[in-house]
Amino acid sequence: MSRTGWTVLGLATVFLYLPIVVLAIFSFNDSDLMAFPLSGFTLKWYGELAANDAFHAGFLTSFLVAQPVGLIGMTVGLAAALALTSSNLKWRFAFLALVLLPFVVPKSVLSIAQAMIMSRIGLERGATALILAQSLVVVPFTTAMLSAVLIRLDPRLDEAARDLGATPLQSFRLVLLPQIKSALAGAFSVGVILSLADLTIAMFLAGRTQPLSLMVASEFRRELRPDLNAMQVTVLALTAVIVVLSELYRRRGRRRAARRPSAALTGQPEASS
């Protein structure tokens, strides 16, 4: 990469991550005022956060909403990815456009449309409406992730399983799933992270349900408090943990998949891990 390219990359990195660094610095500042110079190092804001029942309730609500969102996004994304990578699919471009439509439509427009439709069918705003609405936004991401994995798989494995008498369900369960377990875990993690970070859809469809993102936005509109900085740093840290665990699981799956051919060639049993 040229010097200009490195310069642009560095400026973009600073622009994206400097606010997060400043947020983290002020979460340890021993002052109610968020301004330089810093007054000293303290952990009292994290102590106040640990004793904040509203934060606990909001995080629990967000966590409970994010799990079915991740599961639905992973399942529907897998079905869509299997269809997109199938050689028998007709109108492939139209189907792809339909799947990606929630990604290109502005979230505010999509949220209003979802609220109107759910009102017409009698579904009140709340946790169920929020889960369904967020799942729709997650599906394009999970479909893209899983399609990228499925398109690289050897189709002859499925054909061999069918030739040996396996049913389509058996071939899917015994041949395909073991190859994409790590990708499914990654798709689930993406769904969870996108749900935890969502604010726009929650503003329109949460109703009396109060996820953490909505609580934080409401608090920020009233007052900038240091404990809110600590809250955001905590959420970022939890998100980073999810990403790291997902990546470790993916790499473990790749190492195990790489050991299987060598074990088959040498006649040695696969080492457990």
Nearest C-alpha neighbor of 141 from the set 69, 206, 215, 89:
69
Residue 202 lies in a domain: yes
In 151-225, where does DSSP find H-type helix? Answer: 155-163, 168-171, 177-197, 200-205, 212-222
Farthest CA pair distance, the chain: 73
**In this prediction, what percent of the chain has a pLDDT beyond 90?**
11
The per-residue pLDDT for range 8-42, each reduced to its tens digit, is: 888 888 888 888 888 788 778 777 777 677 777 87
Residue 139 has a pLDDT of 92
Query: What are the distances in angstroms from CA 92 to CA 6, 73, 83, 95, 137?
Result: 39, 20, 9, 5, 20
Cα(225)–Cα(31) distance, rounded to whole angstroms? Answer: 10
Of 92 and 79, the structure prediction assigns the larger pLDDT to 79
Cis amide prior to 37 (ω within 30 degrees): yes
Beta-bridge partners for 29: 41
Kindly tell me if the per-residue pLDDT of 71 is higher than 90: yes
Counted domains in the chain: 1
Residue positions counted in the chain: 273
On whether residue 160 sits in a domain, the answer given is no
Residue 265 lies in a domain: no
Confidence of residue 76 (pLDDT cuts 50, 70, 90): very high
Of residues 39, 139, 46, 147, the one with CA closest to residue 99: 139
Mean pLDDT of 109-117: 88
Domain that holds residue 87: 57-155+187-228
In a domain, 95, yes or no: yes
Provide the pLDDT for residue 163. 76
What would the two tokens of residue 103 be? 């990604």
Where does the chain show beta strands of DSSP type E? none
Nearest one of 83, 183, 205 to 137, comparing CA atoms = 205
Distances 242 to 139, 156, 196, 255 between C-alpha atoms, Å:
19, 34, 11, 20
Whole-number pLDDT of residue 79? 92
Tell me the mean pLDDT in the region 212-216: 80
User: pLDDT band at residue 272, thresholds of 50, 70 and 90?
Assistant: very low
Residue 41 backbone phi and psi in degrees, to 5? -95, 135
Asked if residue 130 belongs to a domain, the reply is yes
Per-residue pLDDT at 103: 83
Residue 19 placed within a domain? no
How large a percentage of the chain has pLDDT more than 70? Answer: 90
| Residue 203, domain CATH | 1.10.3720.10
253 band by pLDDT with thresholds 50, 70 and 90: low
pTM assigned to the model = 0.77
Task: Indicate if the pLDDT at residue 262 is higher than 80.
Answer: no
Note whether residue 42 is domain-resident: no
What pLDDT score was predicted for residue 257?
A: 61
CA 32 to chain centroid, in Å, comes to 33
Residue 105 inside a domain? The answer is yes
Q: What is the pLDDT of residue 258?
A: 62
Q: What is the pLDDT of residue 212?
A: 82
Tens of pLDDT, residue by residue over 52-61, are 788 888 888 8
Q: Which of 156, 149, 153, 151 shows the shortest CA–CA distance to 184?
A: 149
Looking at per-residue pLDDT, the higher value among 6 and 158 belongs to 6
pLDDT digits (tens, 9 = 90+) for 147-194: 988 888 877 777 787 777 778 788 888 888 888 888 888 899 889 889
- The pLDDT score that the predictor gives to residue 271 is 46
Average pLDDT rounded to a whole number, residues 199-215:
84
Give the CA distances from residue 172 to residues 179, 220, 269, in Å, rounded to whole numbers and listed in that order.
10, 48, 24
Residue 224 or 140, more confident: 140
